[in-house]
């Protein structure tokens, strides 16, 4: 499965990332169909360079017409976020049907907070950094999409169930 291969590749490259979005909900136990993988990656130069090398090794390319060299220019993603309102850099393989990977450029929560609060789940022998339930709720509140409202309800219900079982 591509998702696990992606996460194994990031982990072996020592990339600091946090899985968010529908796949993160699934890993917490909330069933939600999703067509993509959403990640927040630390954008410092060293970490982001490792991330790009790992993503390129999987054959991923930006979905927008830009080169990896442009993406790697220091501060470029932040500039695109400010100037072009780019929220996520979508990546995909040129052929095939693997899910799209969305690297969130503008996260409502700072990466350091997401990373400090993350939950590490062992999936097939791979340590996967997943956003905490509270951080997922906060991100979904900020997004204010219709689907996010039902996700918030499910996450709050899950949180309540976990609280009553401890």
Cα separation, 117 vs 18, in Å, equals 10
Cα separation, 149 vs 166, in Å, equals 26
Q: Rounded to two decimals, what is the model's pTM?
A: 0.91
Q: Which residues of the chain are under the pLDDT cut of 50?
A: 166
Task: Please report the pLDDT score of residue 166 as a whole number.
Answer: 44
Per-domain boundaries in the chain: 2-155
Helix (H, G, I), strand (E, B) or coil at 38: strand
Q: Are 20 and 27 in contact (CB under 8 A)?
A: no
CA gyration radius, the chain: 16
Give the distance from CA 138 to its chain's centroid.
15
Task: Please report the pLDDT score of residue 164 as a whole number.
Answer: 58
Query: What CATH number is given for 2-155 in this structure?
Result: 3.30.460.40
Helix (H, G, I), strand (E, B) or coil at 108: coil
Q: Are 125 and 13 in contact (CB under 8 A)?
A: no
Q: Are 39 and 104 in contact (CB under 8 A)?
A: yes
Cα separation, 109 vs 142, in Å, equals 9
């Amino acid at each position: 499965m591509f998702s696990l291969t992606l996460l194994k590749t990031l982990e072996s490259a020592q990339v600091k990332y946090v899985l968010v979005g529908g796949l993160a909900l699934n890993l917490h136990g909330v069933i939600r169909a999703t067509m993509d993988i959403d990640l927040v990656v630390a954008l410092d130069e060293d970490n982001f360079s490792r991330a790009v090398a790992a993503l390129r090794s999987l054959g991923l390319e930006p979905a927008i017409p830009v080169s990896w060299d442009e993406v790697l220019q220091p501060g470029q993603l932040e500039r695109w976020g400010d100037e072009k309102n780019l929220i996520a850099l979508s990546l995909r393989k040129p052929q095939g049907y693997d899910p799209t990977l969305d690297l969130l450029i503008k996260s409502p929560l700072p990466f350091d907070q997401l990373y400090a609060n993350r939950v590490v789940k062992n999936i097939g022998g791979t340590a996967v950094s997943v956003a905490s339930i509270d951080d997922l709720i906060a991100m979904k509140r900020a997004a204010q999409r219709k689907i996010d409202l039902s996700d918030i309800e499910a996450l709050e219900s899950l949180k309540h169930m976990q609280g009553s079982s401890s």
